[in-house]
Amino acid sequence: MSNIMEINNRKTFAIISHPDAGKTTLTEKLLLFSGAIKIAGAVKSNKIKKAAASDFLEIEKQRGISVATSVLSFNYNDHKINLLDTPGHKDFAEDTYRTLTAVDSVILVIDCVKGVEEQTEKLMQVCRMRNTPVMIFINKLDREGKDPVELLDELESKLSIKVRPLTYPLGMGYQFRGVYNIYKNSFDFYSVNKTKIEDDVVVFEGLQDKGLDDKFGTDAQKLRHDVELIDGIYENFSIEEYLNGNLAPVFFGSAINNFGVKELLDTFIEIAPSPTNREITNGTVKPVDKNFSGFVFKIHSNLDPKHRDRIAFLRVCSGKFERNKFYLHVRLNRQLKFANPASFMAQSKSLLEEAFPGDVIGLYDSGIFNIGDTLTEGEGFMFKGIPRFSPEVFRIVRNTDPFKSKQMEKGIQHLTDEGLAQLFVQNYGNKKVVGVVGELQFDVLKYRLLNEYGASIDFVTMPAYKAFWLKYENKNDIQDLLNIRSHSLYNDKNGNLVFIADTDFSLKMAMDKNPNVKFLSSIEHNDQTILMGDVA
């Protein structure tokens, strides 16, 4: 098959949702419909009910080899679909943000009872930043939920995106009768745990078809009224608007009952984008470009504790990746070849000979990769748009077993390379501070240091309000910070200078006294413009 055909055949996406909306269930149903798995229950839930590290890791283990569930590739109607898994817990949201940089579109799952929830809003902000095309699946229609029009309103107002329902439900909960496909003028009848999909779909000749009255009696009028109302309120669906990230098509269904899932999958195959262009430091890379390029968006250490292996997940962006061929690791300016790259098919991992744009490959990594690293066939560019956000909670790391200092150093290096937490080292001292988005990350860090490296640490709370990366032209710009506020200056892992403010007041003071310095709450992994923190 030619490269262009390989590219057009691929769809790389993620499913995002607030925990419990039904992401795992929908994932499983997509795999069932595609034939990639045969029985329900094969995909383990990744939600964490109790916020303890051991639970989290236990759940990770139960999910099977996490590596296999990080990417689920399957075939459907002659397409290769790469579904990138994202953690369910909000404390691991950064991992999700990074994964979203590697997809071409997303499916957002909403619980019809709860509507738009907090985590949904945050995830959508990241999609909006990147203009990622979004499809919405409103789930759990077998339950008594919010009114569909109210839900559509809420989506538009809270997520700042235009929506266009492509199906519309008749009834909900016990009264749920199915969904009307507005564009195909067909009705899909709901039944619990649906299996024979095609048998239950009836096509009508438009809303005025008398057949509707025969089927639904007095409910036919309600359906006509609702669909006409929807047609009046929402502009026609435009694929272009969807692909630009401005308009989200909406589907209604019940994942647990296999209802509405096939419709979603079929439309997804029809309209979701194939691998798209990617921004680089000096322009754009197109999937059809002849030379191979790709970037690392995720790293996972010690998947198999016996082998201490570490895998870097690389998204292919252009050309063709081949096993055992030399590629340039741009940041290190080193030529590397990979003898055992891995591909992921449904739940198993296998040796890969070649990969095309949109594919995700697993590279065994001896510690040479950072998130955001770029591989090319010799060109010196880096991929842009892989964000790092300022953490929200900070703790000082205290080594509680001096005989294991080396192990601790190594473990912290590895685990922060993964992005499990961010490490800051005091500019004029050796104080190590770990910053995270949510408390659970501290527990996981401590647990993994002990279990995977034999190192024992404690965390000491520290007064910290927020951390900011500092951007400045020259050393004079930061004289006040160096002289008066040096205790608040830290270096991140890349040597960038970071200011950790104790309070809102100290932040304001620092900003006032250092007017030529920019205080940034997010930067890009490959941002070359930040000055290095070598200021001592």
Q: Measured from the CB of residue 196, what is the shortest distance to ligand G4P in angstroms?
A: 18
Q: Measured from the CB of residue 133, what is the shortest distance to ligand G4P in angstroms?
A: 21
Site string for ligand G4P, 256-275 (x = CB under 6 A): xx------------------
Site string for ligand G4P, 36-75 (x = CB under 6 A): ---------x-x----------------------------
Q: How far is CA 133 from CA 26, 100, 130, 248, 273, in A?
A: 19, 11, 9, 7, 8
Q: Measured from the CB of residue 80, what is the shortest distance to ligand G4P in angstroms?
A: 24
- For 190-290, strand residue ranges (E) read 201-203, 247-252, 278-280, 283-285
Based on the shown chain and the rule CB under 6 A, indicate whether residue 108 belongs to the binding site for ligand G4P. no
Contacts 24+ apart (CB under 8 A), 348-352: 348/68, 349/65, 349/67, 349/68, 351/323, 352/323
> Which one, 185 or 347, has the nearer CB to ligand G4P?
347
Site stretch for ligand G4P (CB under 6 A), options 253-261, 277-285, 380-388, 495-503? 253-261
Q: How far is CA 405 from CA 53, 349, 411, 457, 469, in A?
A: 22, 35, 10, 10, 28
> Which one, 58 or 304, has the nearer CB to ligand G4P?
58
Q: Measured from the CB of residue 255, what is the shortest distance to ligand G4P in angstroms?
A: 4
Q: Measured from the CB of residue 46, what is the shortest distance to ligand G4P in angstroms?
A: 6
Looking only at residues 442 through 461 of this chain, which bind ligand G4P when binding is defined by CB under 6 A?
A: none
> Which one, 193 or 244, has the nearer CB to ligand G4P?
193
Question: Quick check: 98 and 269 in contact, CB under 8 A?
Answer: no
Site string for ligand G4P, 8-37 (x = CB under 6 A): ---------x-xxxxxxx------------
Q: Measured from the CB of residue 123, what is the shortest distance to ligand G4P in angstroms?
A: 12
3-state secondary structure of 391: coil
| Element at 119 (helix H, strand E) | helix 118-130
Site string for ligand G4P, 113-152 (x = CB under 6 A): --------------------------xx-xx---------
Looking only at residues 72 through 101 of this chain, which bind ligand G4P when binding is defined by CB under 6 A?
A: 88
CA-based angle 83:87:93, to the nearest 5?
115
- Within 14-117, residue ranges assigned H as helices are 23-34, 53-62, 66-70, 93-100
Q: Measured from the CB of residue 88, what is the shortest distance to ligand G4P in angstroms?
A: 5
> Which one, 173 or 367, has the nearer CB to ligand G4P?
173
Alpha carbon distance, N-terminus to C-terminus of the chain: 57
Give the count of residues interacting with ligand G4P (CB under 6 A). 19
- Of residues 66, 73, 254, 343, which one binds ligand G4P by CB under 6 A? 254
Looking only at residues 351 through 390 of this chain, which bind ligand G4P when binding is defined by CB under 6 A?
A: none
Contacts 24+ apart (CB under 8 A), 280-283: 280/374, 280/381, 280/382, 280/383, 280/384, 281/381, 281/382, 281/384, 281/526, 281/528, 282/381, 283/381
CA-based angle 373:409:439, to the nearest 5?
80
Q: Measured from the CB of residue 29, what is the shortest distance to ligand G4P in angstroms?
A: 9
The residue whose two tokens read 């050393």 is 475
Q: Measured from the CB of residue 87, what is the shortest distance to ligand G4P in angstroms?
A: 10
What DSSP assignment string belongs to 28-57?
HHHHHHHTS-SSTT-SPP---SS--HHHHH
> Which one, 143 or 323, has the nearer CB to ligand G4P?
143
Contact residues for ligand G4P (CB under 6 A)? Answer: 17, 19-25, 45, 47, 88, 139-140, 142-143, 254-257
